[in-house]
Amino acid sequence: MLTPGLVQMVSVLALNKLELKDMINAEVVENPLLEEIEDTSVSFDELAGREGDRELSAEQKTAEQERTEKDPFDEIDFGSYFQDYLDPGYRTGGGVSSEDLDAPSFEHFLSKPSTLTDHLLWQLSSMALRRELRAAAEWIVGNLETSGYLSASLEDLVAAANDPAVTPALAQEALTTVQALDPLGVGARSLTECLELQLTAQQREVQAFLQRTLNTRGEDQASPHTERELLLSLALRIVQQYLPLLQKRDIRELSRLLAATPEHTNAAIAIIRTLDPRPGQRFEHHETRLIEPDVAFARRGDDWCVVMNEEDMPALRLNAGYRRMLRRGTADREVQDYVKERYRSAVQLLRNIEQRKNTIVRTCEAIVRRQGEFLERGVDALRPMMIKEVAEEIGVHPSTISRAVSNKYVHTPQGVYELRFFFTEGVNGPEGGDLPLMLLKKKVRKLIEDENPAKPLTDDALVAELAKQGIQVTRRSVAKYREDMQIPSTHQRRQRS
């Protein structure tokens, strides 16, 4: 059982600075007993301005006084203003019309970025299509995934449309119409079809260009494009028939099956690499996330200290008028009960905010004590650290530490990091010491990046290389870390010439 105060304490602890600021502003609006303390401190710029005013010479002050004493209305010719205003051809701005201004119109501003659906529907709206075909094409566009693929079958779409006019033939025609739109590959039902649509479109362009070149310039000018057409044909065959071999990078077997030279096979593969396997991804707009550190690790002499970032944070206090009302007891019983309830809620919030600050500071102090070498030297000096260890040190539950570091960032001499970054399990490292799991994965990736592509390292070989560096780890663990980093297996990484 949790009291409302504990529930609020848990919620406040999990908030970062920006979220806490929004919550405080909302509470100030809802609770009349809470009020924000206005910042009466004077900024450095204001102080400098005041000093500058004092140092103005007597002549400058006199001239300034003369300018202010002169009535500005005496310098305005109101007659000409009224005369111009009554003129039917009057325009403001010295005779420059709004059409003459080199400025973007309001039509160029969008309230939100264009999505894949918007982009496709805009193209359909500009095409001369019969009504039922346009409706079917829009139905297909509405069922596309954000990647641009069509996961549902045409039979399912026809059944879901529940319209006698939507026949399988019409659905196929609508799908062909959608697949001809930009970006190429949209509306595909598999990776093979997506790549095939893009290669086929390139083939049509090259063939059309070849036809025009042969008719106007002759075969000599068309020979480079003939080579391009050959490579596109090889790329299309690889995509349609030998995609598993391409994933294995078996160039020798591919060249044998294609009856092509290794040079032509590699050139065809280079064309395939230029294709987009997720044509709709470019329209996936992710909202930019604003990050403002909640705390900073700063150097003070020979020690590191924790500084809370409380800039722009509202400073709260209880409204004195309501407190006097409660002491005097002059208000109605119902009003007094309401004020008491709001008073308790306000006090509880102030306590929870202070408790949040204390928990974060104590957690960060424990981090600083353990990660001093990281602050001095960087990521390579990061030490393994568990949430349970810090929780036992400061005397709280591990879930409290988890909430205290959740979605919060710290500014350090090495950059801005999420507080969770410092908590990582360790493996048996050099000289019996512990090595953070993050650094171990980094070492595994580096070994794979430096390997010979023709003879990639097996998981057992990776274990042996790590053992040379004093890191003891099992083959199964290396395989797991490799899969976590989405690195293919040895067989898939091998490049066969």
- d(C-alpha 485, C-alpha 477), whole Å: 12
Q: What is the pLDDT of residue 191?
A: 92
Question: Which residues, given as ranges, of the chain have pLDDT below 70?
Answer: 1-2, 39-113, 214-225, 285-289, 329, 331, 425-434, 496-497
Cα distance between residue 396 and residue 13, in whole Å: 13
CATH of the domain at 467: 1.10.10.60
Please tell me whether residues 217 and 154 are part of one structural domain: no
Is 417 in the same domain as 435?
Answer: no
The CA-CA-CA angle for residues 375, 378, 382, to 5°, reads 80
In a domain, 351, yes or no: yes
Tell me how crowded residue 475 is: count the other CB atoms within 10 A of its CB: 14
User: Can you tell me which residue has the tokens 């609006």?
Assistant: 29
**Do residues 299 and 353 both lie within one domain?**
yes
Please tell me the predicted confidence (pLDDT) of residue 443: 83
Quick check: is 11 in a domain? no
Final residue before a domain boundary, out of 158, 179, 200:
179
What is the value of pTM for the model shown?
0.54
Burial of 359 (0-12, 13-18, 19+ CB in 10 A): buried
Are 152 and 217 within one domain? Answer: no
Cα distances (angstroms) measured from residue 172 to each of 27, 197, 204, 376, 496: 57, 15, 21, 64, 40
Going from the C-alpha of 228 to that of each of 106, 262, 420, the distances in angstroms are 44, 16, 51
Provide the domain count of the chain.
Answer: 4
Q: Are residues 439 and 488 in the same domain?
A: yes
Task: Indicate whether 299 and 418 sit together in one domain.
Answer: yes
pLDDT in tens, 328-376: 767 678 887 888 888 888 888 888 899 999 999 999 999 998 888 888 8
Residues of the domain holding 164? 117-179
198 shares its domain with 145: no
CA distance 287 to 476: 38
In a domain, 337, yes or no: no
Q: What is the pLDDT of residue 200?
A: 92
- Does some domain include residue 469? yes
| pLDDT value for 41 | 47
Structure tokens at 19: 């979220």
Same domain membership, residue 391 and residue 306: yes
Query: Are residues 205 and 261 both part of a single domain?
Result: yes
Please check whether residues 306 and 395 belong to one and the same domain: yes
In a domain, 435, yes or no: yes
| Dihedral of alpha carbons 65, 66, 69, 72, sign | negative
Could you tell me if 207 and 229 are in contact, meaning their C-beta atoms sit under 8 angstroms apart?
A: yes
Same domain assignment for residues 301 and 221: no
For residue 82, what is the enclosing H or E element? helix 78-86
Cα dihedral 92, 96, 99, 105, rounded to 10, equals: -70
Domain shared by 354 and 395, yes or no = yes
Assess if residue 81 is contained within a domain: no
